[in-house]
Structure 1
């Protein structure tokens, strides 16, 4: 394959993503930060430029950000096989975990202990993603006034509206492209995402609403739509899922849905894996498999199909400027997401204290492993809840 000169083998990359999928807590923001720290800074398997291209593509395409970034990193040196194996290695550990938790949830009817654990873990996660966002910001934004402006605008937008906008990412990329490398004789006619949305969206939506209620086919269509049309980080899918799973189809009640989100937060890997838990509650093991496959397959296609063009033309000054603009907006959105999530997870002095201790531990004790922090926070959550009750 001519890859003998690479600093790592495909097996090593797959093992890395298996470990990240097993121990990578904190949602998309933290996972993107871990990949940068481990693969760009420490091991130097992936160049800064390749990482940025992957982050920009993951932000522009719909679906879960961390999974797409992992798939793109797999593609960088090992093409489609690498992308496929990296994606599977990243998603499968947390999928098996939510299956086990789903079985326990159904058997024991509810999960108060899980919410107690999340009380501590959620606070520690805020600390972890705060440090990730801080490092990404310091490394990627620098002192460029345009990038700082884009970063701040994106952060404020994310905090204000509690969501991310693909139009903001596109606008940021286009603005910085026009500033840094104004085009000559280049015209972009017809937005692909606009065509996709206008043609595919009504068709898939109509098929999902007309399929037999509670059937695997209805579930497949609904979760395909969720994977193909929700932009932003994995957390962006939560309000979308609530609208369909609770409000429209009535598959779960409010408490079951909130428990599903808690499961996503206390399990490692991509937050979107909550779809496996939801699928299990509705239609058992087949439901879990269908929901997870339908959600992740579109994001796999949206990463692998454009990847060769992204890599081929990514060095073009105009495209590089576009990617830099999108990256600045993406990191702004990540920083804004820290505040949005912090408001939900840091509900009292105890949780604020756990988050602060986590930040200090990560900044002062450079070798402190995240799984240990998560474990300590989980025990703290259980003890605090028992003490408060």
Structure 2
């Protein structure tokens, strides 16, 4: 069947339901081309699934997206899982969600191996020197993009500011900030719904015809919910138990499983919102990474397809590579990366398969929509904290901590300014904001600039 564009006036009366193989090929294509963060990934899915294939209507697509926005985890991957579930049930959801992850996982796994084995060589260090400067501009762009969507009134601006102060100056844990914002939105929407209206997802509606989706052959209920929780809960914990039996409970794999399982249930607002928390824990609490290495991983994730949260693959790889339980470090790293991916994404499937039958109730619930709106505003402040944290570590060679009573925040040694890094960061910002160069060209130019500067300056 010939794909239809959004502007065509002549269309067949009905759209044939795709076979599982057709859906496999389409979601494989989406997984391979899903660059540009969640905004670009969602736009790609909309173009392919709504405008071209017409497997799902505009209304159903946005309905599914709004539900995924309520969940912890990467909304784009969960949206792919949800649409796959609508098309072919649980099997379709598993296939679609997995294909969204696999390409990026394999690429980051390969890059992490190269990084671990050859870190310290002049060319590798120079490339990541340039990439880190560009990533700073990318994170700043994310603050602005999310801020424009979320901060629609003074109350939301104040909530974002309070979240920033809480995490930057008082070190309030990220999960508590999200919980507090969600509760404020949930109850605030009942009292002042005008303050907690979501920004929605604009754009002109696409006219039909569309595939007439079959109604899912499931009904919400406690029995089904218990079954879904049991099956996916066992899948979640099974590899952890296996590794505990094979290698023991005192190995690096147990804290990896525990920490990233926790991340899987609190990552509201996307990867940028949680990365500063992960970076601080991985560097300061666990000692898995050295200062600045989180930026290298983020640079990898920005240049590969799939959800940005796949940067955690790199963290899990390095953690296990540097503390192998009596096996080859490279094998240990692969196990650590795979375990991290498993405990991060298995919950994403759980949320979809558990909650999808209830989406009509969630769609009509203004209190839940208010909670999402407040969380999104709060996330702006958290991402701003990430931008400042990254910026200080990119532009300054030495960053310390200032403490005074309950206050504790990062502060650089101004004499340690890295002029080359600052110039690259400014150049990357100009490329993104003024020249509209795009993510991949900007990162490529920054990597080349890092090589050039390192060799020129010795």
- Using the size of structure 1 for normalisation, the TM-score is 0.71
Find 1:237's aligned residue among 269, 273, 278. Answer: 278
Q: Which residue of 2 aligns with 1:313?
A: 361
Q: Which residue of 1 aligns with 2:180?
A: 171
2:190 is aligned with 1:157: no
Task: Tell me if the contact between 1:40 and 1:51 (Cα under 8 Å) persists in the aligned partners.
Answer: no
Once the two structures are superposed, the pairs formed by residues 333-348 of structure 1 within 5 Å of their partners are 333-347=382-396, 348=418
Higher relative contact order structure (alpha carbons within 8 Å, sequence separation ≥ 6) = 1
Q: How far does residue 164 in structure 1 lie from its aligned partner after superposition?
A: 5.2
Q: How far does residue 379 in structure 1 lie from its aligned partner after superposition?
A: 0.9
Q: Which residue of 2 aligns with 1:296?
A: 341
SS class of match (1:218): coil
Task: Tell me if the contact between 1:146 and 1:176 (Cα under 8 Å) persists in the aligned partners.
Answer: no
Q: Which residue of 1 aligns with 2:432?
A: 362
Find 1:352's aligned residue among 385, 400, 422. Answer: 422
Q: Residues of 2 paired with 1:92 and 1:258: CA distance? A: 28
5+ unaligned residues in a row in structure 2: which ranges?
1-13, 52-57, 193-232, 268-273, 302-307, 397-417
Q: Which residue of 2 aligns with 1:267?
A: 300
Change (3 A) 1:104 1:151: closer
5+ unaligned residues in a row in structure 1: which ranges?
25-30, 59-64, 184-199, 247-251
2:197 is aligned with 1:148: no
Q: How far does residue 181 in structure 1 lie from its aligned partner after superposition?
A: 1.6
Once the two structures are superposed, the pairs formed by residues 31-180 of structure 1 within 5 Å of their partners are 31-35=37-41, 38=44, 50-51=64-65, 53-58=67-72, 65=73, 68-79=74-85, 80-81=90-91, 84-101=94-111, 103-104=113-114, 110-142=120-152, 144-161=153-170, 165-180=174-189
Richer in helix (by share)? 1
Q: Residues of 2 paired with 1:157 and 1:41: CA distance? A: 39
Q: How far does residue 121 in structure 1 lie from its aligned partner after superposition?
A: 0.8
Q: Residues of 2 paired with 1:5 and 1:162: CA distance? A: 51
Q: Residues of 2 paired with 1:295 and 1:17: CA distance? A: 19
Find 1:225's aligned residue among 258, 275, 279. Answer: 258
Q: Deviations over 1:230-252 (max 9, x none)?
A: 44524433343346764xxxxx7
| Number of equivalences | 339
Q: Deviations over 1:49-81 (max 9, x none)?
A: 6545434422xxxxxx5xx33331212312355
Question: Who wins on radius of gyration, i.e. which is larger?
Answer: 2
Q: Residues of 1 paired with 2:139 and 2:17: CA distance? A: 34
Q: Residues of 2 paired with 1:349 and 1:266: CA distance? A: 20
Q: Deviations over 1:360-389 (max 9, x none)?
A: 3223334x2311111110011111112222
Q: Which residue of 2 aligns with 1:197?
A: none
Q: Which residue of 2 aligns with 1:332?
A: 381
Give the RMSD, CA atoms, in angstroms.
4.0
Q: Residues of 1 paired with 2:291 and 2:255: CA distance? A: 19
Find 2:320's aligned residue among 257, 266, 279. Answer: 279
Task: Tell me if the contact between 1:119 and 1:381 (Cα under 8 Å) persists in the aligned partners.
Answer: yes
Task: Tell me if the contact between 2:30 and 2:45 (Cα under 8 Å) persists in the aligned partners.
Answer: no
